[in-house]
Amino acid sequence: MDYLVLAADDETEILDSLELFLNKEGIELIKADNGISALELFRENKPHLVLLDVMMPGLDGFGVLKKIREQSHVPAIMITAKSEDYDKILGLELGADDYISKPFNPMEVVARVKAQLRRNYDYKEEGGKKFRAFGLELDTDARSLTREGVQIALTGTEYRILELLMTHPGRIYTKQQIFDYAWEDSYFADDSTIMVHISNLRNKIQGGLKDVVIIKTVKGLGYRFEKE
């Protein structure tokens, strides 16, 4: 499968460098030097993944991601300043799957991009297994989550975390184990990243339930999907 990636950054040298390295991997890159242009290119081309710099003229990366998430759950990687932890957390809360800090090695970006593409598009069918709990139905064939027939939109990363937890209710998974499954690379491990993704999942799946926390934090150990 040929992949198309949209990268938005107001530093053209960075875009040109990313294009060179991604093209070597057979990945086509379309480039935008501001947020407004990024949105236009996204709508016109429907890329498989987006790379968004936080600081851009016209519309920043957060604004672009918000607009994209209104219509798509395409994998998204935010590019943030090295010291801006707030930017990283805000990006994840808005639905980013991952982030990369500047300055970065282009090969690191290529590795992150390929990992996201592989996890979201290059997967094997599971034979239609379905798991049900708390009114939720997880279909591992369609890679979808529904409640009473209504689909709950998840990013690829959120889906993989929920798949791990929901298919093994009652089992405690450490943050490292969740990273190894959902990101397939322990190098990405970061406590705040897991916490934000778990928080996003809870907000989406909790529904009207008041007396039970579906995904429970087990202090000092990790997380588990509660048994119904």
Pull the structure tokens for residue 170: 């009652």
Let me know whether 158 and 205 are in one domain.
yes
Q: Given 66, 93, 121, which residue is the final one in a domain?
A: 121
Instruction: Give the pLDDT of the chain (228 residues) as one tens digit per residue.
Output: 589 999 999 999 999 999 999 999 999 999 999 999 999 999 999 999 999 999 998 899 999 999 999 999 999 999 987 666 788 888 889 999 988 888 899 998 999 999 899 888 876 555 568 899 999 999 988 889 999 889 999 998 999 999 999 999 999 999 889 988 888 765 555 678 889 999 999 999 987 777 778 999 999 899 999 988
Let me know whether 66 and 116 are in one domain.
yes
Let me know whether 161 and 59 are in one domain.
no
Let me know whether 115 and 149 are in one domain.
no
CATH number at residue 203: 1.10.10.10
CB 43 within 8 A of CB 15: no
CATH number at residue 57: 3.40.50.2300
Dihedral, CA of residue 205, residue 208, residue 209 and residue 214, to nearest 10:
0
Q: Could you give the number of structural domains in the chain? A: 2
Let me know whether 143 and 192 are in one domain.
yes
Let me know whether 33 and 108 are in one domain.
yes
Q: Given 65, 91, 121, which residue is the final one in a domain?
A: 121
DSSP structure string for 112-130: HHHHHHHHHHS-----S-E
Let me know whether 57 and 20 are in one domain.
yes
User: Containing domain of residue 102, as a range?
Assistant: 3-121
Report which DSSP code applies to 10.
S
φ/ψ (deg, to 5) at 173: -115, 130
User: pTM of the predicted model, to two decimals?
Assistant: 0.81
Let me know whether 110 and 192 are in one domain.
no
Q: Given 103, 121, 139, which residue is the final one in a domain?
A: 121
Q: For residues 75 and 50, give the distance between their C-alpha atoms in angstroms, rounded to a whole number.
A: 6
Buried-state track 104-117, b at ≥16 Cβ within 10 A, e below 16: eeeeebbbbbbbbb
Let me know whether 181 and 117 are in one domain.
no
CB 88 within 8 A of CB 110: no
Neighbouring-strand partners of residue 102: 81
Let me know whether 90 and 72 are in one domain.
yes
Pull the structure tokens for residue 76: 């998204």
Let me know whether 76 and 148 are in one domain.
no
pLDDT of residue 21: 95
Let me know whether 7 and 116 are in one domain.
yes
* C-alpha 109 chain-centroid distance: 15
CA distances from 109 to 68, 98, 138, 157 (A): 21, 11, 31, 17
